[in-house]
Amino acid sequence: MTDFTMEKDADGVATITWDVPGKSMNVLSMDGAAELSRLIDDALADDAVKGIVITSGKADFAAGMDLNVLAGMKQGGPQAVFDGVMSLHHLLRKIERAGMDARTLKGGKPIAAALPGTALGIGLELPLACHRIFAADNPKARIGLPEIMVGIFPGAGGTTRLSRKLGAMAAAPLLLEGKLNDPAKAKAAGAIDEVVADPVAAARDWVLSAQDADLVKPWDAKGYKMPGGDPWHPAGFMTFLGANAMVMGKTMGVYPAARALLSAVYEGAQVDFDTALRIEARWFTNVLMNPSAGNMIRSLFISKEALEKGANRPDVPDQRVRKLGVLGAGMMGAGIAHVAANAGIEVVLIDSTQEAADRGKAHSAGILDKGISRRKLTEARKAEVLAHITATTDYAALNGCDLIVEAVFEDPSVKAEVTAKAEAVIPADAIFATNTSTLPISELAKASSRPEQFIGIHFFSPVDKMALVEIIRGRETGDRAVAKALDFVRQIRKTPIVVNDARFFYANRCIIPYINEGIRMVGEGVNPVLIENAARLMGMPLGPLQLVDETSIELGARIARATRKAMGDAYPDEAVDAVIFAMEKAGRLGRKAKAGFYAYDDAGKRQGLWEGLAADYPRAEGQPELTEVQHRLMFAQALEAVRALEQGVLTDIREGDVGAILGWGFAPWTGGPFGWLDMLGAERAVEIAEALAADHGDRFAPPALLRDMAAKGDSFYGRFGAQAAAA
Ligand code: NAD
């Protein structure tokens, strides 16, 4: 079983084919790298070989490094990481120098990469070490270096080669944003050289005709200057200054990878190429050893993929959806119909008037039109998607639906009525799901004649953009319903978590305390600028006040009233309500009303925090420390996640972490609330929570589970993460 094989032909071309057995996509392991190294040695030493083509036996070239291998390397400590990375550098440098004379730079063998499809991460770093890159004219292929998205950066020479090839400015979107391009755009960006119908044939022709000079990389030639200027050049200086400011602005300094990447480019630009590779390897080691990188890889890659592949799927036969009924064609129903139709599922979209149903279908047309205007879609594709949606008021059209998702008004009696109406028509074995965000599933299931086939499938808004779907098991929900929901989520290519039924399920349960803590501080006279910045500086994408403006203060007030009614005397958020109800009364309902905690211009563009807040809530004399504000905002969320675990709402901490990042943007650099608490350590977390509880109330009292962990020196992943691959 080998990942790479080599064939030599009569013309003197050695073709190395990458084809990892048993995988649909190539990923590089250290064993694979060693095999490739041996084949390169063989071809370079063989006088009959004139040139080498490296390609793939699969539809795509490669998805990158096997991240499990990286996780393993990390376990060996920093020296093991550094040595592992350096061994890749040696291999790629050997390919780049291709046996040429070190002084004359002559006599090397041309090596070309032929990419049939997608080439990501090391799948592009390897080609970048070759002398020429040919990609198939395959618009579906994605080419780029996405490492930054999982908290690391291209560490197999991609950072150094691309920045030297393109200059720091042009390389920035590819390196710092992990931007992926189709082959035509990748060529325009300078990441690859040619887009052709048959990359292997083109690469063969090229290696047979290449001259010595074609093999010498600019950085190995005399007098190399970095495009756009190195850091000491006036133009280069400005680039680095700007890039540094941009990175700090975007990441708030909490993502170690972005800073390390910039340092590797900046420092590397001032030394020779091989020293630059060593610098890159050191920074890569630094980042990989940082707990943030491990947590991000674990949550955003390993756990996310495991959940998408059905890690918690009950063992029942395939439940893929063939015909979906969506009840209610409002904002959510229309979005759900769209994503399902887009995945090729037949959809019946029902509302109480034909006009409303049509409006729901038009929502899908609107999204597709946007895709067409961005040249991502064709008119034919739009017609194909829309043809899957039947917009009607006629419940009889639900005949034959194997799944219903109900998204009518958030009113139990309306929901009960449509449940009964739909169940009168749909097959006896169909599953009925509700998209409610606040009503208990087990209560709504009472309207169903088959409660074991009743489940919650909770989408987030906007449905076409949000990746998370929360699946909620009611008291009587059976396994087949859970499998159905998971198979549906997989069809529409989103990420599922499965939780048990309790107030606000998981995501909203944690996000509400975050928003409330921010609002509570406004009421206490904490400077709102401090509140918002404290959140952003912890890596939250939106401060709590901006978030509630976005989701609507009106909705917040409605939820507050309902919760208060349900909880009676135990209701803990009087102080929050005072502010929220006052805002509601003043008509400051959030962004939609162009007035909220922020001010907006007539076009609805956010201006700054609303100055009137200072009049209504005079600034307290002593303002809290930044850290205290951050602790309040973060612990409000993280302690709620712990309680959700303690109470059995969450059954898998991977779901808690992935759900937090994808559902409400919980500081992604932490890998999620459990990852973050593990970084702090349970003991320190208890200490902080106790201090917060003493100053601000019982809502911060450490849950018994956290106390127990602190006493025993446990971590969340140590205790509950048996299924979660260690990263
Ligand atoms: P919406 O008001 O935009 O849409 C509701 C739709 O249901 C309307 O088009 C209405 O005409 C239709 N409807 C009402 N009664 C009906 C009936 N008897 N038969 C057929 N259609 C009927 O509301 P929305 O924001 O789309 O929310 C729908 C559901 O999704 C609610 O349960 C809500 O809690 C939940 N939800 C909303 C969000 C969000 O961000 N808005 C997020 C997650 C879940």
pLDDT over 90 (residue 190): yes
Q: Which atom of ligand 1 is nearest to the CA of 334?
A: 26
pLDDT at site 570: 85
CA-proximal residue: ligand 1, atom 8 (nearest): 330
Query: What is the average pLDDT across 199-204?
Result: 98
Q: Where does the pLDDT of residue 646 fall: very low under 50, low under 70, confident under 90, or very high at 90 and above?
A: very high
Model pLDDT, residue 96: 98
Looking at ligand 1, which residue's alpha carbon is closest to its atom 31?
410
Mutate to test the pocket of ligand 1, among 326, 336, 435, 508 (most ligand atoms within 8 A of CB): 435
Alpha-carbon distance of 464 to 572, in angstroms, equals 35
Going by CA atoms, what residue is nearest to atom 17 of ligand 1?
352
d(CA 413, CA 628): 44
At 71 the pLDDT is: 82
Atom 44 of ligand 1: nearest residue by CA position? 437
Q: Which atom from ligand 1 is nearest to the alpha carbon of 408?
A: 7
- Residue 414 CA to ligand 1 centre (angstroms): 10
Q: Tens digit of pLDDT for each residue in 70-80?
A: 888 888 999 99
What are the CA-CA distances from residue 87 to residues 65, 70, 113, 554, 594 (Å)?
Answer: 14, 14, 20, 58, 57
pLDDT of residue 569: 86
Distance between Cα 629 and ligand 1 center (Å): 36
> For residue 437, how far is its CA from the centre of ligand 1 (angstroms)?
10
What's the Cα-to-Cα distance from 276 to each of 86, 307, 475, rounded to whole Å?
A: 12, 39, 59
The number of the ligand 1 atom at minimal distance from the alpha carbon of 417 is 18
Q: How far is the CA of 408 from the centre of ligand 1 (A)?
A: 4
Atom of ligand 1 nearest to the CA of 411: 32
Q: State which ligand 1 atom lies nearest to the alpha carbon of 414.
A: 18
Ligand 1 centre to CA of 94 (Å) is 61
pLDDT band for position 247 (50/70/90)? confident
Tell me the residue length of the chain.
727
**Of 355, 409, 592, which is best to mutate to test ligand 1, by the most ligand atoms within 8 angstroms of its C-beta?**
409
Which residues surround ligand 1 with Cβ inside 6 Å?
A: 327-333, 350-352, 356, 407-410, 414, 417-418, 435-437, 458-459, 461
Between 228 and 112, name the one with better pLDDT: 112
Residue nearest to atom 23 of ligand 1 (CA): 330
In a mutational test of the pocket of ligand 1, which residue from 351, 443, 464 has the highest number of ligand atoms less than 8 Å from its CB? Answer: 351
Query: For 541, which DSSP code?
Result: S
Q: What percent of the chain has pLDDT above 90? A: 89
Nearest CA to ligand 1 atom 14: 408
Could you read off the pLDDT of 417-470 as tens digits, one per residue? 999 999 999 999 999 999 999 999 999 999 999 999 999 999 999 999 999 999
The pLDDT value recorded for residue 154 is 97
**668 pLDDT exceeds 90?**
yes
Question: What is the 460 CA–ligand 1 centroid distance (Å)?
Answer: 12
Protein residue whose Cα sits closest to atom 40 of ligand 1: 461
Query: Which residues lie across from 346 on neighbouring strands?
Result: 323
Atom of ligand 1 nearest to the CA of 393: 20
Q: Summarize the confidence of residues 540-559 as an average pLDDT.
A: 95
Q: Which sequence positions are flagged as catalytic?
A: 458
Report how far ligand 1's centroid is from the alpha carbon of 329 (Å).
7
Return the CATH number of the domain spanning residue range 4-229: 3.90.226.10
pLDDT tens readout for residues 313-326: 999 999 999 999 99
Measure the CA–CA gap between 435 and 437, rounded to whole angstroms. 6
Which atom of ligand 1 lies nearest, measured to the CA of 434?
32
Mean pLDDT of the 551-579 span: 90
Helices (H), 588-680: 612-616, 626-646, 653-664, 673-680
Instruction: Give domain limits for the chain.
Output: 4-229, 323-468
Other CB atoms within 10 Å distance of the CB of residue 727:
28
Report the atom number in ligand 1 closest to the C-alpha of 438: 34
Query: What's the pTM?
Result: 0.90
Distance between Cα 433 and ligand 1 center (Å): 13
With tokens 């000491």, the residue in question is: 232
In the prediction, which pLDDT does 436 show?
96
User: For residue 573, what pLDDT is reported?
Assistant: 87
Three-state secondary structure call for residue 112: strand
Residues 6+ apart with CB under 8 A from 125: 92, 145, 154, 156, 157, 158, 161
Average pLDDT, the chain: 95
Distance CA(439)–CA(422), nearest Å, equals: 19
Going by pLDDT thresholds of 50, 70 and 90, the confidence category of residue 1 is: low
Mode of pairing for the β-strands spanning 111-115 and 4-8: unpaired
Residue-level pLDDT at 34: 96
Protein residue with least CA distance to atom 30, ligand 1? 407
Asked if residue 727 has pLDDT above 50, the reply is no
pLDDT of residue 249: 87
Nearest CA to ligand 1 atom 12: 328
- CA distances from residue 726 to 26, 85, 590, 715 in whole angstroms, order as listed: 22, 20, 42, 12
Angle between helices 574-585 and 553-567 (to 10 degrees): 140
Two tokens, residue 509: 């349960």
- Please give the number of the atom of ligand 1 that sits closest to the Cα of 415: 18
Kindly give, in sequence order, each residue whose CB lies less than 8 Å from that of residue 168, ignoring residues fewer than 6 positions away: 226, 228, 236, 239, 240, 243, 265, 269
Pocket probe for ligand 1: among 437, 509, 547, the residue whose CB has the most ligand atoms within 8 Å is 437
Give the per-residue pLDDT at 726.
41
Confidence of residue 566 (pLDDT cuts 50, 70, 90): confident
Mutation probe of ligand 1 site: the residue of 326, 327, 332 with most atoms within 8 A of C-beta: 332
> Where does 323-468 sit in CATH, by number?
3.40.50.720
The model's pLDDT over 495-530, given as tens digits with 9 standing for 90+, comes to 999 999 999 999 999 999 999 999 999 999 999 999
How far is the centre of ligand 1, averaged over its atoms, from the C-alpha of 461 (Å)? 12
> Is residue 724 pLDDT above 60, yes or no?
no
CA of 358 to the centre of ligand 1 (A): 15
Confidence (pLDDT) at 109: 98
Give 224's contacts (C-beta < 8 A, 6+ positions apart).
164, 218
Using DSSP, state whether 324 is helix, strand or coil: strand
Per-residue b or e along 143-172, where b marks 16 or more CB atoms closer than 10 Å to that residue's CB = bbbbbbebbbbbbbbbbbbbbbbbbbbbbb
pLDDT tier at 723, thresholds 50, 70, 90: low
**Smallest CA separation from ligand 1 atom 29, residue:** 407
CB atoms within 10 A of CB 603: 6
Kindly give the distance from the C-alpha atom of residue 576 to the centroid of ligand 1, in angstroms, as a whole number: 26
